[in-house]
């Protein structure tokens, strides 16, 4: 194909960052483009399943999952030069011919922007979370949400929290990466266009974002559903899906046991996905109307579910809204609390506090949300907004437009 493009995609090795991009990569490959997908060993198979060529890298972020987020942590991506140097080195060695466009996760902007500057190619940032501008700051809101119960104030966020040694390391990093002609000031001032995997209606202050932010919604590839063999029980009972995600916060066997007991005598069918934090056998014996899995494709369940109980990771929230399923959100950390705030503001579900949750509390919330016609109507409207946002097809259109100038 004469106008075949080479697109490089670089993501953080985490489910919430890799999964939103998979549909876009699949669509680009379907259009005949070459896609190079940079990720870790853990997600290499998922990336390869899109038809992309996979470049693997090692990445050890400065903040480990489950640690408390503070305002100073917003700069960890900047301070952690060695990890970003490894990514750029892997990319430069394996990417082959220079890509026509580089799409990099906003969280990895140090590595992404360095690769862009060294290759002198067009680029865009990928946002699987809320975008920020002068009217809304995700870092500020996450920091406030993470410290709402703290006794001591956090360090102020800002360049003063980085230290002179960072700028010295950054200058060397740029020089080693072949971008010595780029000053630190120019590096920080980069303003790539942004591809946001949310519908604009879900974005905080969405009306204030200009055309440099393109909101395409979740890129769920319905034409190539995830492999899995889950199917509804067929007895006509309403279904509730319960999950706390795949991070370290899902290690609450007592939460799942309590939920199973609370639903045991109700005419509901309960599907629990444990995400690796709890083994299904730890929960046995389970009531006849409850099933527990380490993992099943959530969209397969959500297409039939009446309510989704979730920790409110952005991917889970958007999958639920894509399927038209109302939410009961039980956030575990700052970003999930911000996501939950938006769910409640828009009337798409109900929020519970993890420290106050019991099986009975979850059960009562599920029954209330499932019976609330107003929530159902608002969720269906958001589902329509998601469909109108364009998904993977519009994302691919936008990437093509950036590559071709």
Ranges of H-type helices in 268-349: 298-302, 314-322, 334-345
Give the per-residue pLDDT at 155.
44
For 266-276, what is the mean pLDDT?
Answer: 93
Give the per-residue pLDDT at 303.
95
56 and 164 Cβ atoms separated by less than 8 Å: no
Specify whether 77 is located in the same domain as 66.
yes
Specify whether 60 is located in the same domain as 154.
yes
Specify whether 395 is located in the same domain as 307.
no
Express each pLDDT in 100-115 by its tens digit. Answer: 999 999 888 777 887 8
Residue-number span of the structural domain to which 399 is assigned: 6-217+390-404
Specify whether 95 is located in the same domain as 26.
yes
Asked if the structure places residue 232 within a domain, the reply is: no
Specify whether 79 is located in the same domain as 116.
yes
Asked if the structure places residue 231 within a domain, the reply is: no
Give the per-residue pLDDT at 318.
97
Asked if the structure places residue 222 within a domain, the reply is: no
Express each pLDDT in 334-368 by its tens digit. Answer: 889 999 999 999 999 999 998 889 999 999 999 99
pLDDT category of residue 176 using cuts at 50, 70 and 90: confident
Residue 199 confidence (pLDDT) above 70 = yes
Residue 265 confidence (pLDDT) above 70 = yes
CB neighbourhood size of 245 (10 A): 22
Specify whether 378 is located in the same domain as 400.
no
Specify whether 37 is located in the same domain as 165.
yes
CATH at 343: 3.40.50.2000
Q: Between 193 and 172, where is the model more confident? A: 193
Specify whether 181 is located in the same domain as 285.
no
253 and 282 Cβ atoms separated by less than 8 Å: yes
Asked if the structure places residue 228 within a domain, the reply is: no
Asked if the structure places residue 229 within a domain, the reply is: no
Specify whether 41 is located in the same domain as 174.
yes
Q: Give how far Cα 334 sits from Cα of 74, 105, 145, 163, Å.
A: 12, 19, 5, 25
Specify whether 316 is located in the same domain as 397.
no
CB neighbourhood size of 359 (10 A): 18
Specify whether 326 is located in the same domain as 203.
no
Asked if the structure places residue 83 within a domain, the reply is: yes
> What is the Cα–Cα distance from 182 to 187, expressed in whole angstroms?
7
Asked if the structure places residue 358 within a domain, the reply is: yes
Express each pLDDT in 203-259 by its tens digit. Answer: 999 999 999 999 999 998 666 556 667 999 989 999 999 998 766 566 788 999 999
Q: Between 25 and 55, where is the model more confident? A: 25
Specify whether 264 is located in the same domain as 176.
no
Residue 78 confidence (pLDDT) above 60 = no
User: What's the total number of domains in the chain?
Assistant: 2
402 and 124 Cβ atoms separated by less than 8 Å: yes
Asked if the structure places residue 1 within a domain, the reply is: no
Give the per-residue pLDDT at 158.
44
């Amino acid at each position: 194909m004469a106008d075949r493009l080479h697109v490089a995609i670089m993501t953080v090795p985490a489910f919430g960052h890799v999964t939103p991009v998979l549909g876009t990569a699949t669509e680009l490959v379907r259009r005949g483009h070459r896609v190079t997908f940079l990720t870790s060993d853990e997600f290499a198979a998922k990336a390869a399943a899109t038809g992309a060529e996979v470049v693997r890298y090692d990445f050890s972020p400065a903040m480990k999952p489950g640690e408390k987020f503070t305002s100073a942590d917003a700069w960890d991506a900047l301070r952690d030069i060695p990890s970003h140097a490894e990514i750029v080195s892997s990319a430069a060695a394996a990417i082959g011919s220079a890509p026509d466009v580089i799409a990099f996760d906003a969280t990895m902007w140090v590595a992404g922007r360095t690769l862009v500057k060294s290759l002198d190619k067009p680029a865009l940032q990928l946002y699987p979370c809320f975008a920020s501008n002068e009217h809304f700051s995700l870092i500020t809101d996450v920091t406030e949400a993470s410290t709402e119960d703290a006794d001591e104030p956090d360090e102020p966020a800002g360049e003063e929290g980085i230290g002179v040694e960072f700028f010295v390391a950054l200058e060397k990093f740029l020089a080693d990466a072949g971008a010595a002609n780029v000053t630190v000031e120019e590096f920080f001032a980069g303003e790539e266009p942004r591809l946001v995997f949310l519908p604009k209606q879900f974005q905080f202050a969405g009306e204030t974002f200009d055309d440099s932010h393109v909101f395409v919604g979740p890129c769920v590839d319905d034409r190539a559903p995830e492999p899995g063999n889950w199917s509804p029980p067929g007895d006509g009972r309403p279904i509730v899906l319960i999950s706390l995600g795949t991070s370290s916060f899902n290690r609450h066997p007592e939460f799942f046991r309590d939920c199973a007991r609370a639903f045991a005598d109700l005419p509901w069918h309960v599907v629990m996905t444990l995400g690796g934090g709890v083994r299904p056998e730890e929960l046995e014996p389970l009531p006849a109307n409850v099933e527990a899995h380490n993992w099943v494709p959530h969209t397969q369940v959500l297409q039939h579910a009446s309510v989704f109980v979730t920790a409110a990771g952005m991917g889970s929230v958007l999958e639920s809204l894509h399927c038209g399923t109302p939410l009961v959100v039980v956030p575990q950390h700052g970003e999930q609390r911000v996501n939950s705030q938006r769910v409640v503001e828009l009337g798409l579900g109900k929020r519970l506090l993890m420290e106050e949750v019991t099986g009975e509390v979850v059960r009562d919330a599920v029954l209330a949300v499932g019976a609330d016609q107003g929530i159902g109507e608002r969720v269906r409207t958001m589902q329509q907004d998601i469909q109108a946002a364009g998904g993977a097809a519009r994302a691919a259109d936008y990437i093509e437009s950036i590559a071709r100038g």
